[in-house]
Amino acid sequence: MNDRRSFFVLTMLVFGFAFLYLPIIAMVIYSFNASRLVTVWDSANSPTLAWYVELFHNSQIMDAAKLSFRIASVNATGAVILGTLAAFALQRYRKFRGRAMFGLLTTAPMVLPEVITGLSLLLLFVALEQGIGWPSGRGATTITIAHMTFSMAYAIVVIQARLATVDRSLEEAAMDLGARPWKVFAVITLPLIASAIASAWVLAFILSWDDIVITSFVSGPGSTTLPQLVFSKVRLGVSPDINALATILVLIVSLAVVVAGTYMMRRDRRRMRDSQAAQGATG
Amino acid sequence: MAALALLLTGGGDAVSVSAPAGTRLAGRFAAIRGALGRRAVIALPYAWLAVFFLVPFLIVLKIAFSNIQLSMPPVEPVMVWTADHVLQLRLHFSNFTFVFGDELYLAAFVNSLQVAGVSTLFALLIGYPMAYGIARAPGAWRNILFLLVVLPFFTSFLLRVYAWMGLLGRSGPINALLMQLGIIHEPVQLLQTDFAVYLGMVYSYLPFMVLPLYSAIEKLDLTLLEAAADLGCRPAKAFFMITLPLTKEGIFAGCLLVFIPAVGEYVIPALLGGPDTLMIGRVVWDEFFGNRDWPVASALAIVLLVILAGFVLLLQRVQAQEGEA
């Protein structure tokens, strides 16, 4: 009975991961296919790096990638600053006027459909332009503002979760010794939540780097981000250079996740060893 | 000064009273500074969200009650100063009657809910055993499998949907495989079908389902299952009587995380669906960009939002009742 159950679970695991990964693996393999028909393997001329060469010579794609990178970096930095403040307010200031509203505003952007967020922000930018003349037209600035608004919500979740586990007695001790609140934050709290802030930054970067729907609403004619370019290309059908682009992006992300993963596992193991050692010392 | 401090902190932070005059003043000063800092910490993100999230929302609501007109922006003003200096509010409900009266929009709403519901169910059916397997895997394997579930989160959503375009195409490997096996004799249309949309939905949102399920199953107290087994309970019965009820919160969270974004999804139906695949996210997009009918797009957005909010509240209420029982 037990064997039969674990066999079922194992089968589902294999099936599930195959489902998640086979399409990505296929995309990587096809990126080396010489045929323009992407999924028809041209065994005479493949594998080839032709599409990678073409990709790097495509100035349109390179420009879009640069713009996306710039927007994603600025967005991540802004979202993390606002997110840290908001997380601190929600976690440390238990009571203040409008707290319930604040809580709602910080979580709503995560569950709101992207078409609604995009539509509403565009309507705001249009109204602002008519009313006060800013922002004049739409482009990198409006995209960054829109991205910050929704990625900030994710940053708050990550940072708040870490803040909740920080031992407050350290902050109180520093406060008792006469340190100003800002100093306490900079010297005690910030180092303790640094890893969460780093994760929030990466998360905000990726959310922005990847966004297509909200971006399409708030972008202007002069600013095309990488996802926008990819989207307009693939709407017309599969395209070999997009496979090459996808392969590069998947490679970068996999490397980053593997590095982060091994680092986290090592840290956990070290922590476990340390706490065992500490118990041994006291016991 | 004390009054000011009291005003700033809302009477919450008490100022030291028993201290000597000099330190008392310094203490008050620090309290005011602290209060100002506290205000700033709250005010900055609050103001940002109010301006870029709350206000836009109100504008959508306003435009939903407006009329289309040929101008930029293509809407009639809602509030108008009349000749005799009276602020006139011109609200039109026609967009809503139009939205509810048109079968196309109704079909789009129904279809979106159906696609999202069925996709959520399939994601649960695939995701639960996966999460169970990961949570029960031996130590090192568990971390690796967990990372493998997280990894797709960080790879582009758009590109993962795109990956299926190649697989499902007429000359793609799925058709080739089916022909090799002799199941079909000529390529079948897989891309631009409802089937492709369901597939894309389950594929894209599966990690969202697995993660909350994993954390719920991992927390499960295994001694309960041992006790049940000792008392002669069969594993299948133990699963339905112990494991499933105790991981209910994970199931709720996972379903919500899949269902909500799936209802308003735009990219998947646009890339994998056919021209007749009606989903509300796509309809809002087309009304806005294609027809330039901002008022109808806004009205559709409001209706979609009300439906989603209704679902979240309903689920919360069910969960609260479960908690009481």
Contact across the interface for B271 and A235, Cβ inside 8 Å: yes
**Half-sphere exposure (Cβ direction) of B12: Cα atoms closer than 13 Å:** 13
Query: Which residues on neighbouring strands pair with residue B68, listed in sequence order?
Result: B75
B152 and B18 in a common domain:
no
Using CA of residue A135, residue A137, residue A142, residue A146, what is the dihedral sign? Answer: positive
CA distance B108 to chain A (A): 15
- pLDDT, residue B206, reads 95
Q: What is the mean pLDDT of chain A?
A: 89
Q: Name the residue facing B59 among A13, A17, A127 (closest C-beta).
A: A127
Contact across the interface for B52 and A124, Cβ inside 8 Å: yes
Compare all CA atoms of chain B with the CA of A2 and give the residue at the minimum distance: B235
pLDDT in tens, A108-153: 888 888 999 999 999 999 999 988 888 888 899 999 999 999 999 9
Q: What is the mean pLDDT of chain B?
A: 84
Compare all CA atoms of chain A with the CA of B303 and give the residue at the minimum distance: A116
Residue B88 counted as domain residue: no
A37 touches B171 (CB < 8 A): yes
B147 and B37 in a common domain:
no
Residue B295: pLDDT over 50: yes
**How many angstroms separate the first and last alpha carbons of chain B?**
53
- Percent of chain A beyond pLDDT 70? 97
Helix or strand (DSSP H, E) at B81: strand B79-81
Contact across the interface for A27 and B166, Cβ inside 8 Å: yes
Contact across the interface for A121 and B148, Cβ inside 8 Å: no
B106 and B28 in a common domain:
no
Using CA of residue A215, residue A216, residue A217, residue A223, what is the dihedral sign? Answer: positive
Residue A136 counted as domain residue: yes
Q: Which residues of B49-65 are buried (b: 16+ CB within 10 A; e: fewer)?
A: beebbebbbebbbbbbb
Residue B19: pLDDT over 50: no
Decide which of A20 and A280 is more confident: A20
- pLDDT, residue B223, reads 87
CA angle (A26, A32, A37) in 5-degree steps: 75
Q: Which amino acid is present at B30?
A: A
d(CA B303, CA B309): 10
Mutate to test the interface with B, among A116, A117, A202, A211 (most CBs of B within 10 A): A116
Residue B18: pLDDT over 50: no
Per-residue pLDDT band for B12 (boundaries 50, 70, 90) equals very low
Query: Which residues on neighbouring strands pair with residue B81, listed in sequence order?
Result: B87
Contact across the interface for A9 and B136, Cβ inside 8 Å: yes
d(CA B247, CA B245): 6
Contact across the interface for A1 and B235, Cβ inside 8 Å: yes
pLDDT in tens, A57-91: 999 999 999 999 999 999 999 999 999 999 999 98
From chain B, pick out residues whose CB is under 8 angstroms from the CB of A115: 264, 266, 281, 284-285, 301
B279 and B206 in a common domain:
yes
Q: How many domains does chain B have?
A: 2
From chain A, pick out residues whose CB is under 8 angstroms from the CB of B132: 9
Q: Which amino acid is present at B140?
A: A
Contact across the interface for A114 and B55, Cβ inside 8 Å: no
d(CA B176, CA B167): 10
> How many Cβ contacts (< 8 angstroms) between chains A and B?
239
B178 and B317 in a common domain:
yes
Q: Name the residue facing A123 among B59, B136, B263 (closest C-beta).
A: B59
Per-residue pLDDT band for B1 (boundaries 50, 70, 90) equals very low
Compare all CA atoms of chain A with the CA of B46 and give the residue at the minimum distance: A102
Q: What distances in angstroms separate CA B245 from CA A12, B136, B137, B210, one per listed residue?
A: 21, 18, 21, 17
Structure ipTM: 0.88
Q: Name the residue facing A97 among B10, B156, B266 (closest C-beta).
A: B10
A203 touches A151 (CB < 8 A): yes
* Backbone dihedral angles phi then psi of residue B68, each to the nearest 5 degrees: -75, 145
B238 token code pair: 């133990």
Residue B288 counted as domain residue: yes
Residue B72 counted as domain residue: no
Angle between helices A59-92 and A190-210 (to 10 degrees): 140
Mutate to test the interface with A, among B49, B170, B209, B222 (most CBs of A within 10 A): B49
Residue B34 counted as domain residue: yes
Residue B202 counted as domain residue: yes
* Last residue of one domain, picked from the residues B64, B80, B107: B64
**B89: DSSP letter:** E
* Last residue of one domain, picked from the residues B64, B87, B108: B64
Residue A27 counted as domain residue: no
B104 token code pair: 């196309």
Least confident of A5-19, A159-173, B11-25, B278-292: B11-25
Contact across the interface for A230 and B158, Cβ inside 8 Å: yes
Compare all CA atoms of chain B with the CA of A260 and give the residue at the minimum distance: B147
Q: Name the residue facing B152 among A20, A82, A212 (closest C-beta).
A: A20
d(CA B83, CA B92): 21
CA distance B238 to chain A (A): 12
DSSP-assigned letters across all residues of A165-185: HS-HHHHHHHHHTT--HHHHI
Contact across the interface for B134 and A13, Cβ inside 8 Å: yes
pLDDT in tens, B164-223: 999 998 888 899 899 999 888 888 899 999 999 999 999 999 999 999 999 999 988 888
B106 and B60 in a common domain:
no
Residue B44: Cβ within 10 Å count:
15
Residue located via tokens 């308003």: B264
Residue B12: Cβ within 10 Å count:
13
Decide which of A47 and A78 is more confident: A78
d(CA B150, CA B144): 10
From chain A, pick out residues whose CB is under 8 angstroms from the CB of B213: none
pLDDT in tens, B20-74: 455 566 666 666 666 777 888 889 999 999 999 999 999 999 888 888 776 667 7
Residue A268 counted as domain residue: no
Helix or strand (DSSP H, E) at B80: strand B79-81
* Last residue of one domain, picked from the residues B64, B80, B110: B64
Residue B16: pLDDT over 60: no
From chain A, pick out residues whose CB is under 8 angstroms from the CB of B149: 20
- pLDDT, residue A65, reads 95
Helix or strand (DSSP H, E) at B79: strand B79-81
Residue B119: pLDDT over 90: yes
From chain A, pick out residues whose CB is under 8 angstroms from the CB of B136: 9
B23 and B107 in a common domain:
no
**B194: DSSP letter:** H
B309 and B165 in a common domain:
yes
Least confident of A106-110, B9-13, B291-295: B9-13
Q: Name the residue facing A123 among B63, B158, B173 (closest C-beta).
A: B63
Q: Name the residue facing B133 among A13, A89, A146 (closest C-beta).
A: A13
Pairing of strands B87-89, B79-81: antiparallel
Q: Is B77 helix (H, G, I), strand (E, B) or coil?
A: coil
Alpha helical stretches, state H, chain B:
2-9, 21-49, 55-64, 94-101, 103-136, 139-154, 157-168, 173-180, 194-219, 222-230, 235-238, 244-246, 248-263, 267-272, 280-285, 294-324
B59 and B115 in a common domain:
no
Decide which of A180 and B78 is more confident: A180
d(CA A116, CA A69): 25
Mutate to test the interface with B, among A13, A28, A251 (most CBs of B within 10 A): A13
Domain hosting residue A97, numbered range: 59-261
- Its pTM stands at 0.86
Contact across the interface for B60 and A83, Cβ inside 8 Å: no
- pLDDT, residue A225, reads 96
DSSP-assigned letters across all residues of B133-187: HHHHS-HHHHHHHHHHHHHHHHS-HHHHHHHHHHHHSTTSHHHHHHHHTTS-SS-
Residue B69 counted as domain residue: no
**Phi-psi category of A32—alpha, beta or left, where left has phi over 0 and alpha has psi -120 to 50?**
alpha
Contact across the interface for B156 and A227, Cβ inside 8 Å: yes
Contact across the interface for B129 and A13, Cβ inside 8 Å: yes
Helix or strand (DSSP H, E) at A129: helix A114-132
Whichever domain contains B216, its CATH number is 1.10.3720.10
Domain hosting residue B39, numbered range: 2-64
From chain B, pick out residues whose CB is under 8 angstroms from the CB of A9: 129, 132-133, 136
Mutate to test the interface with A, among B9, B61, B130, B255 (most CBs of A within 10 A): B130
Per-residue pLDDT band for B101 (boundaries 50, 70, 90) equals confident
Residue located via tokens 């960054």: A144
Residue A164 counted as domain residue: yes
Residue B85 counted as domain residue: no
pLDDT in tens, A2-46: 566 678 889 999 999 999 999 999 999 999 988 887 777 887 787
Q: What distances in angstroms separate CA A129 from CA A133, A208, A221, B62, one per listed residue?
A: 4, 24, 16, 17
Residue B17: pLDDT over 70: no
B146 and B6 in a common domain:
no
**B87: DSSP letter:** E
Mutate to test the interface with B, among A33, A120, A129, A158 (most CBs of B within 10 A): A120
Q: How many domains does chain A have?
A: 1
Residue A36 counted as domain residue: no
Residue B6: Cβ within 10 Å count:
17
Residue B292 counted as domain residue: yes
Cβ contacts of B109 within 8 Å, gap of 6 or more? B280, B303, B304, B307
- pLDDT, residue B71, reads 67
Helix or strand (DSSP H, E) at B88: strand B87-89
Compare all CA atoms of chain A with the CA of B152 and give the residue at the minimum distance: A20
B27 and B131 in a common domain:
no
Rounded to 10 degrees, the C-alpha dihedral B304/A210/B211/B249 comes to -20
Rounded to 10 degrees, the C-alpha dihedral A87/B26/B3/B33 comes to -30
Contact across the interface for B60 and A123, Cβ inside 8 Å: yes
Residue located via tokens 């992300």: A253
CA distance A171 to chain B (A): 14
B126 and B6 in a common domain:
no
Residue B245: Cβ within 10 Å count:
10
DSSP-assigned letters across all residues of B247-266: THHHHHHHHHHHHHHHHT--
**B290: DSSP letter:** I
Per-residue pLDDT band for B306 (boundaries 50, 70, 90) equals very high
Whichever domain contains A74, its CATH number is 1.10.3720.10
